Structure formats: structure tokens, C-alpha cells
Amino acid sequence: MTHGFQTVIDALGVRLYRVAANHGNADAQRSLGIIYDTGRGVPQDDAEAVRWFRLAADQGHADAQFNLGFRYDLGRGVPQDYVEAMRWYRLAADQGHANALKNLGTTYLSGDGVPQDYVQAHMWYSLWASRQTGDFSDNALVTRDIVAGLMTPTQIAEVQRLAHEWDAAHPLSPRLR
């Protein structure tokens, strides 16, 4: 495919997404956030990416909530704010979003924006691992087990209880299965 033809296709895609997004379609809004994030078919624009992610996130779109949390985590298009990142990650995690679960674990492990808490880190990593398959599962389990090496048996038992309670209260969204 020639570069010119791809540019036309990208521009058409942006126009179609914009129509749907302006009618409140959260999937299209999130897609426009990705488009502005990458600059494919439009000039790259962090603020515009955040605007579209927020519109979709406010409608409960888990991927957009994760994307918005990630933006706050890094300070891309918004001021860096770990507390706000955690808020958006938690909303996505409550819907079973695997990467949000992972990032919650990482945040509790590092203590960025929250008190460092190995029990919480291990719990979120355990939930992340439970939603992975193949090599992704292996990587998640290794990460979880590294944290377990920093904990007491009593803390690990607490993690198992907390993870079980969280799983029972947050069945996996059909959208993320």
C-alpha cells in the first residue's frame, strides 16, 4: 500500500470515528484517544487524546479508564498525579481490566501515590495473574512470586482472603473475557 493511499484511509477512519464519537459512542471515543496518542491520521496531540479518553472513561469504558490512568501516571497530556492514576486504574480494575490490575500492583509495590503495601501489591498481581494465559500468565506469576518473597506467611494468607473477596465482588465483565 502506498503512503498516500494509507493517509487517505487513515483520514477516512478518523472522520468515521469522529461521527460515532460525537454521538456518544464510547468505543469510538476511546479509538480517537488512541489515534491522537499515536498521531495516525492526525497530528499527535496528548491533550486531545486525554479529552477523548476522558469522554469514554466517564461512560465506564474500562480500556479508556486504563488509558486515562496511564496518562496521569506518566503525566502525558495532564499533570502527573498518582492519586488520579490510581482512581482510574481502580475503576478499570473493578471491571477486570488486566493491565489495570497489574498497574495497581506495581503502584502499591513502588509506593507512588499510595503507601507502599506488599499485601495490596501481591493481591493485585494475583488478580492480574488469574486473568492471563500462556506466557503472559507466566510473567504475571513470576512478578507476584517476587513480591511474595518479601512477605510473611500471614500476609500471604491475608492476600488470598482479600483476592477471593475481590473476585467474588467483581465478576469478570463479558466485554473483557
Whether 127 maps to a domain, the answer reads yes
Mind listing the pLDDT tens digit for each residue in 8-50? 677 778 999 999 999 999 999 999 999 999 998 899 999 999 9
Whether 173 maps to a domain, the answer reads yes
Question: What pTM value is reported for the model?
Answer: 0.88
Q: Give me the chain's average pLDDT, please.
A: 91
Domain total for the chain?
Answer: 1
Which residue range is the domain that position 116 belongs to? 95-177
Whether 134 maps to a domain, the answer reads yes
| Band of pLDDT at residue 177, cut at 50, 70 and 90 | very low
**20-34, 54-68, 132-146, 162-176: least confident range:** 162-176
Whether 128 maps to a domain, the answer reads yes
Closest CA relative to residue 43, chosen from 75, 7, 89: 7
Whether 83 maps to a domain, the answer reads no
Q: Tell me the C-alpha distance between 131 and 111, whole Å.
A: 24
DSSP 3-state assignment of 115?
Answer: coil
